[in-house]
Amino acid sequence: MHYGTAAIIRNKRAGVLDAANAAHPERFVQKPPEPPKLPSGSWINKPDDTEKATQQIPLNGATFRLTDSDQATVESKNNHLVRKYAFYYRYDTPEERAVLNRLWPLVNDRLNYLTPTIKPTGYASTADGRRRRLYDTPQTPLDRLLATETLSRPQQAELIAYRDSLNPAKIAREITDLQNRLLVLAKEKTEQLYLASIPTALPDIHKGIRTKAC
């Protein structure tokens, strides 16, 4: 299902079942065998109401359905992108949002134009028989996009020119400055909310202290 080959595999199974039916029709007295129908969706923990488990998300004028099965991808982005650059603090004031709106374009430039990433390509076995993940050559997201040859030459030239105009050191300094500003704006507020959510370690003198009877 995840790799888009489900229909091909089902057709192969149908061929095997057809051959078995032709060779031994006496085994299939009710009807010819056929593989199971392809599911319309897959779940780890299916909710009682799938409509409540989905949400329409607007994106660039269109909408797509966000389901519970997308949660792993969302959490991955939260961990290596959102929390890495904006921490775990709470931002709910216009000034804090303004800082975030300046931060994310810089993060976007750093990750998409300047940061090479690796993609898994398969598995191999080590000398002692252990399974080892294989990865491709590190490339930036821009390099991967250019390698697909889906862009026109003017589009490619525009993106390459923009990448060449970026100053990695300047971007790093600006990101650090904005992060420091976020710390000043939200650190104390967020820590107070966190402390308020933790029960005090001191005993409640109004309830008394229970001791074990001798």
pLDDT of residue 99: 94
Mean pLDDT of 10-16: 79
* Percent of the chain's residues with pLDDT above 90: 37
* 134 and 69 co-located in one domain: no
Same domain, residue pair 8 and 37: yes
Q: Does 146 have pLDDT greater than 90? A: yes
Q: How many domains does the chain have?
A: 3
Backbone angles phi, psi at 141, to 5 degrees: -55, -35
Q: From CA 16, how far away is CA 10, in angstroms rounded?
A: 10
Residue-range definition of the domain harbouring residue 124: 88-195
Mean pLDDT, residues 160-182? 95
Q: Are residues 77 and 140 in the same domain?
A: no
Does 210 map to a domain? no
Question: Of the ranges 2-16, 123-137, 146-160, 174-188, which one carries the lowest mean pLDDT score?
Answer: 2-16
- Whether 38 has a pLDDT exceeding 90, the answer reads no
Shared-domain flag, residues 150 and 101: yes
Do residues 98 and 187 share a domain? Answer: yes
**What is the model's pLDDT at position 210?**
59
Query: Whose CA is closest to 144, among 104, 111, 103?
Result: 111
Query: What are the pLDDT digits (tens) for 92-142?
Result: 889 999 999 999 999 999 999 999 999 989 999 988 889 999 999 999 999
Question: How many beta carbons lie within 10 A of that of residue 85, not counting itself?
Answer: 18
pLDDT tops 80 at residue 167: yes
Assign 3-state DSSP to the chain and report helix, strand, coil percentages, each to 5: 50, 10, 35
Cβ-defined contacts of 98-105 (< 8 Å, 24+): 99/178, 99/181, 99/182, 99/185, 100/182, 102/178, 103/175, 103/178, 103/179, 103/182
Highest-scoring range by mean pLDDT, 4-18, 40-54, 68-82: 4-18
The answer on 181 and 132 residing in a single domain is yes
Report how far residue 120's alpha carbon sits from residue 213's, in angstroms, rounded to the nearest whole number. Answer: 63
Indicate if the pLDDT at residue 60 is higher than 50: no
pLDDT for 200 equals 56
